[in-house]
Amino acid sequence: MALGVGEHMLDSSRADILEAAAHCFMERGYSATSIDDVARRLGATKGRIYHHYSSKSDLFADVFRFGMEMNYKAIEPLRHSREKAVERWRKMAFVHVVQMITKRQFQRVVWEGVEMHLRGATTPEQRTVFADLIGSRARYSDVFRDLLAEARDDGDMAFGNLGITNQLVFITLNSPIFWYSPRAGETEGYIREIARQIVSFAMHGLGMKEGNP
């Protein structure tokens, strides 16, 4: 089971709504997105959305939640392997970057949710929900942080302050949500090569040797 995240079973109707909403929030931002926008993207009535969500805020929170659950699911098989910490970190970083590219619409919502929380741009009702979501994201980050510490203790990484390093590394690994744009005809191999280059860049900053995720 993922750290702090329960199984999030979705029927096809809710999955379609979350996908449409994620694209709308990514393209317009939370404030400028309306339920009407999501309904148009979905090709459905607002009633279909309100059947599952009472408000735009509830919908945004569920997109955030689902984005984090995707991330936990992606790294779960790797973090429990018997490989050295440096190899687990390398492979987890790689799948994380692939998530930032292939699920960019959800990951931009996670980023915006964090920004809203930090700015205090949430209602009292939202704060409790967002605090839980931010906690889930922090625990996810801690999985990587713990592996960084273990790899440094093993002599496989060389860096200074652990907290600062983890933050800087995540800025690098998360960067595709800001600059990546899909290209017509791009292949899985193309996406993997982008991810490999990003992880390689992060590795050099951690004093790691080159390798293939």
* Residue 98 reports pLDDT greater than 80: yes
> Nearest 5°: CA angle at 153, between 149 and 154?
115
Amino acid at position 168, single letter? L
pLDDT tens-place string over residues 118-161? 677 667 777 777 788 888 999 999 999 999 999 999 999 999 99
Total number of residues shown for the chain: 213
Which band of pLDDT confidence, cut at 50, 70 and 90, is reported for residue 2?
A: very low
Numbers of helices and strands, H then E, in the chain: 10, 0
Residue 8 domain-assigned (yes or no): no
Residue 46 domain-assigned (yes or no): no
Residue 44 domain-assigned (yes or no): no
* Residue 81 reports pLDDT greater than 80: yes
Task: Please give the residue range of the domain that contains residue 85.
Answer: 56-205
Residue 84 domain-assigned (yes or no): yes
Residue 129 domain-assigned (yes or no): yes
The predicted structure's pLDDT at residue 131: 82
Residue 168 domain-assigned (yes or no): yes
Which band of pLDDT confidence, cut at 50, 70 and 90, is reported for residue 10?
A: low
The predicted structure's pLDDT at residue 133: 87
pLDDT tens-place string over residues 165-200? 999 999 999 999 999 998 888 899 999 999 999 999
Residue 148 domain-assigned (yes or no): yes
Q: How many domains does the chain have?
A: 1
Residue 89 domain-assigned (yes or no): yes
What's the rounded Cα separation, in Å, for the pair 125 and 122? 8
CATH number at residue 156: 1.10.357.10
What's the rounded Cα separation, in Å, for the pair 160 and 148? 11
Closest CA to 150 of 87, 86, 68: 86
